[in-house]
Every structure is written in C-alpha cells, then in structure tokens.
C-alpha cells in the first residue's frame, strides 16, 4: 500500500517517520521530495579497471567534492548525490526512490533504489546523465521523490550504510564474492 500525504503527515506527527528537515513543498500527494545536499562523489579516475571483489571499500576510487552550489554531471557519466534530509523509516515502511520527472526529461536517471525498512541516514543516490551534454544541478533543489509503502511484518536494516551522513561511496564486495566462490565450489561438488 502506497502512503498518501495524510498518512505521511500523521506518521511524522506521531514521530514514527522522521524526515529532517521538512520543507513546505516536501510532502507530496504520494511521497516525499528530497533535496540535493552540499557534497557529491564522482569517480577519481577514468579508464581504470575497478574490481569490486578485490576491495573492502571503494572510497579510494571516488573524489568527494564539497559543493559551491553547482554540480555538473558530465555527459554519459554519473555522480553520487546525497540528500539534505535525514530519513528514519519505521520497521514496517520501505521507500522506493524515483528521480523527479522534470529532471528525467533532461536525460537524467537513477537506477531502481529501495530504502529498506528501519533505515536511517541521509540517502546516497546515483544520478546518471544519459545525455550528450553536461547537466548542471544545484544544491538545495528537489531531485528525488521517495514513495513510501507499508510492508507486511517488520524488518530492520542493519547494513553498512545505517546512520550515514553525507555522500557515501559504495562498499567493496570482497566478502560477497568469497561467499559466491564458496557456493559455486559446493555446486560443482554436487554435480
């Protein structure tokens, strides 16, 4: 069930859902608009092979930039943006992130992004420029629409990004890849 404005306002008022700060135009008909924060991350290198399975944390591959108000997304490239808002979801609500449609009409997109039940922190979102032109965004502008849905039962996000503030480059996948290798070895033994 998608939450409408009245339900979002009720949850905020009761302290079950936390969005800080909330602006006059934040709560929409069926979700919450979030704003671009004052830093972003972009790859520090070009044409450098990156193997997520060989690293624990990808922070060394990104340059984190404090904004002077403008963020230029190069053509056919992407940046990691953070939200101004700190979000804390209850254990029975998930969020689906969508780029605001006006920005999509300029050629920007984001991959499907789920904010897990019980997550709290600022959001880091990948914004891809699919156009042949540099696109300029500004800090403080609404860019992300967070649709909230009730889920059956309860869950609590306990991952690495819990409580993050500011832009956060991706974690490495060394442990995940080791587990995958073990599974593939076991599958090979079973055949």
List CB contacts of 9: < 8 A, sequence separation 6 or more: 27
Is 189 an active-site residue?
Answer: no
- How far apart CA 170 and CA 51 sit, in angstroms, is 12
Instruction: Return the sign of the alpha-carbon dihedral for residues 25, 90, 99, 77.
Output: positive
Of the listed 126, 152, 176, 182, which one is catalytic? 126
Cis peptide before 22 (omega within 30 of 0): no
Question: In the 8-state DSSP scheme, what is residue 55?
Answer: -
The helix (H) or strand (E) run that includes residue 12 is: helix 5-13
Q: Which residues are catalytic?
A: 126
């Amino acid at each position: 069930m998608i939450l409408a404005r009245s339900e979002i306002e009720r949850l905020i008022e009761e302290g079950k859902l936390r969005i800080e700060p909330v602006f006059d135009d934040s709560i929409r008909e069926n979700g919450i608009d979030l704003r671009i924060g004052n830093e972003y991350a972009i790859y520090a290198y070009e044409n450098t092979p990156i193997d997520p399975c060989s690293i624990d944390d990808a922070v060394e591959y990104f340059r984190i930039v404090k904004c002077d108000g403008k963020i230029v997304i190069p053509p056919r490239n992407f940046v990691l943006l953070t939200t101004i808002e700190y979000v804390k979801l209850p254990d029975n609500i998930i969020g689906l992130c969508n780029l605001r449609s006006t920005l999509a009409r300029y050629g920007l997109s984001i991959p499907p992004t789920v904010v897990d039940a019980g997550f709290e922190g600022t959001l880091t979102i990948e914004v891809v420029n699919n156009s042949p032109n540099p696109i300029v965004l500004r800090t403080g502008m609404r860019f992300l629409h967070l649709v909230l849905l009730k889920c059956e039962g309860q869950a609590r996000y306990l991952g690495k990004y819990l409580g993050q503030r500011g832009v956060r480059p991706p974690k490495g996948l060394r442990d995940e890849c080791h587990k995958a290798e073990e599974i593939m070895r076991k599958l090979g033994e079973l055949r």
